[in-house]
Amino acid sequence: MDILGTLQLGFIYAILALGIFITFRVMNTPDLTVDGSFTLGLAVSAVLAMGGHPLLGLGAGFICGMAAGALTGLLQTKARIHPLLAGILTMSGLYSVNLAVMGGSPNLSLLQSATIFTVLRRAFPQIPKDYVLLISIVFLSLLCVTVLAWFFRTGIGLALRATGNNAAMVRASSINSDGMRVLAIALANGFVGLAGAVLTQYQNYADINAGLGVIVVGLASVIIGEVVIRKRSILGGLLAAAMGAVIYRLLIALALYLDFFPAYMLRLVSAVIVAITLAIPQIRELIGEARIRREAQNHAGNS
């Protein structure tokens, strides 16, 4: 089992999980834009790297992801389209946009191009390649956590969190809650786009279908992280999401290594994990009700 490689991938997906955490937990509305914005970040980053601007590629991946998120946000708030449908519309439309960005070809190879990782490796020739990758990726995702943890303590950040909680209260504080919602979804997709942008330069290729199902991967990461880190502060939540993504990768790698299931079952397993975890409160309630009924019957039987 390739532990270093798994950790590298895990910390790249941690950035995705941060984005998902913002919509799913902070705004309390899962957002389906991500399948499209992830690929958008990836496509933009690949094309810019091929043009000789790998670092610019990361920035552009973030910005383009934000633009996609903002569009979904506007569909939700200005056009009053159901949040899930708004996300689906953007995601669906992005498929064409992403293909256009990639010049109409469904995949691109970066093997001939400089990426941030080839640059870093050349800068630190004395450090083994895998460690350069891991350290830079860990650094980047921890930087994202730090920036977000700070942001959510600023005036605007606090307003975002309150909007996901009680939008009426935010309006009563004379803050435009619709604007806050658009900003939150934009920010979330910015991080999703960044994750795609890093991934494409890491694996040296871009694929139009790379984003398929990343929403479930992200949700699973957030949920797994919450099991491990139980602190419900905003920093706790961000760290949990990031760590959840790493643990998720490790679990999957382990399962594949031990041959628990073939690789093509991955999506199904992820979906089942998410479904079961989300159903746990309901399952607990059913068990509780059953116990009350049983005890009541015992009681009636005894007297």
Partner 1 sequence: MLEIHDIKKVFQRGTSSEQQALAGLSLCLQPGEFVTVIGSNGAGKSTLFGAIAGSFFVDRGSIRLDGEDITYQKEYLRAKHIGRLFQDPNTGTAPGLTIEENLALVYSKATRRFSLSLALRPADRRYFKELLARLDMGLENRLKAKVGLLSGGQRQALTLLLSTMVPPKLLLLDEHTAALDPLTAAKVMELTEEIAGQNKITTLMITHNVASALKMGTRTIMMDKGQIVMELEGEERKTMTSQDLLQRYRQIMHKELDNDRMLFSGEEE
Q: Which one, 169 or 254, has the nearer CB to partner 1?
A: 169
CB of 103 to partner 1, least distance (A): 38
Q: Residue 125 belongs to what H/E stretch?
A: none
Return the number of the residue (98 or 163) whose C-beta is nearest partner 1.
163
Residue with tokens 């303590």, as numbered in its chain: 153
The C-alpha atoms of residue 211 and residue 37 are separated, in whole angstroms, by: 8
Q: Name the residue nearer to partner 1 (CB basis): 232 or 293.
A: 232
Number of CB atoms found within 10 A of residue 205's CB: 16
Which residue ranges make up the site for partner 1 (CB under 8 A)? 151, 153-159, 161-162, 164-166, 168-177
At closest approach, how far in Å is the CB of 179 from partner 1? 9
| Angstrom distance (rounded) from CA 279 to CA 283 | 6
**Cα separation, 215 vs 221, whole angstroms:** 10
**For partner 1, the closer CB: 159 or 253:** 159
Phi first, then psi: what are they for 261, rounded to 5°? Answer: -150, 155
Closest approach of partner 1 to the CB of residue 223, in Å: 18
87 vs 56: CA distance, rounded Å: 27
Give, rounded to a whole angstrom, the gap between the first and last alpha carbons of the chain.
61
> For residue 231, which amino acid is it?
K
Distance of CA 53 to the CA centre of its chain: 25
Residue (32 or 145) nearer to partner 1, CB: 145
Count CA within 13 A, CB hemisphere, residue 54. 18
Query: Could you tell me which residues come within 8 angstroms of residue 56 by beta carbon, excluding any fewer than 6 positions away?
Result: 48
Q: Which is nearer to partner 1, 232 or 267 (CB)?
A: 232
As measured in angstroms, the least distance from the Cβ of 171 to partner 1 is 4
Element housing 80 (H / E): none
| Residue 205: strand pairing partners | 109
Q: How far is the CB of 163 from partner 1 (least distance, A)?
A: 9
Is the Cβ of residue 9 or residue 27 nearer to partner 1 in the bound state?
A: 27
Q: Closest approach of Cβ 139 to partner 1, in Å?
A: 23
The distance of closest approach from Cβ of residue 288 to partner 1 in the complex, given in angstroms and rounded to an integer, is 21
